[in-house]
Amino acid sequence: MKPLRYLMMLLLLLCMAAQAHAQRSGSRSADELAEQMREAIMAVDGAELMRDADEVVEVDVFGERRYYSRGQASLLLETLLRREIPVTAHIMRKRRTPSAAYVEIRVNAGRENASDWVVRYAVRRGAWRIREVSLVRSDG
């Protein structure tokens, strides 16, 4: 019985250490990342937009899909936002599994210039990381 008790205690300590490491590394929940994206879009802040992105991010801008470094992606997305300054940004949908998440943010730049930003996250080394951003013209 004692070996089982020690094993359980060891597992508990390992879980606590992993949780403490994730908190120290600045990882946040998928919901917090979705809100960070919405706020960064409204602030037209590319660096904040890609702060929690992987080193390489897939970016699809109205059908043109390419891979960019985190820095290149932040510059590209900030440039796009500066062309049509957002008036509103609303989180439309969110989905989440234990290891992946998806958020859709409707960005309206006035009149009929609305686009949907679809952002996909994945857990990498215990932290949520942005791995894909897709922009499509909104239907409504």
Contact criterion met (CB below 8 Å) for 118 and 136: yes
Residue type, 38: R
Give, for all 140 residues of the chain, the pLDDT tens digit.
577 777 777 777 676 655 554 444 345 777 888 898 899 999 999 999 999 899 999 999 989 999 999 999 999 999 999 988 899 999 999 998 888 898 999 998 876 778 889 999 898 888 889 999 999 887 75
What backbone torsions phi and psi does residue 97 show, to the nearest 5 degrees? -120, 175
What CATH number does residue 65 fall under?
A: 3.10.450.50
Q: Is residue 16 part of a domain?
A: no
Is residue 114 a part of any domain in this protein?
Answer: yes
Single pTM value for the model: 0.74
Q: Answer yes or no: are the C-beta atoms of 88 and 110 closer than 8 Å.
A: no
Q: Given the DSSP bridges, would you call strands 127-137 and 100-108 parallel, antiparallel or unpaired? A: unpaired
Number of structural domains (the chain) is 1
With 0-12 CB in 10 A as exposed, 13-18 as middle and 19+ as buried, what is 49? buried
Q: Which residues pair with 132 in a beta bridge?
A: 58, 120
Residue 117 resides in a domain: yes
> Is residue 104 classed as helix, strand or coil in its secondary structure?
strand
Domain that holds residue 59: 28-137
In a domain, 10, yes or no: no
Query: Has residue 102 been placed in a domain?
Result: yes
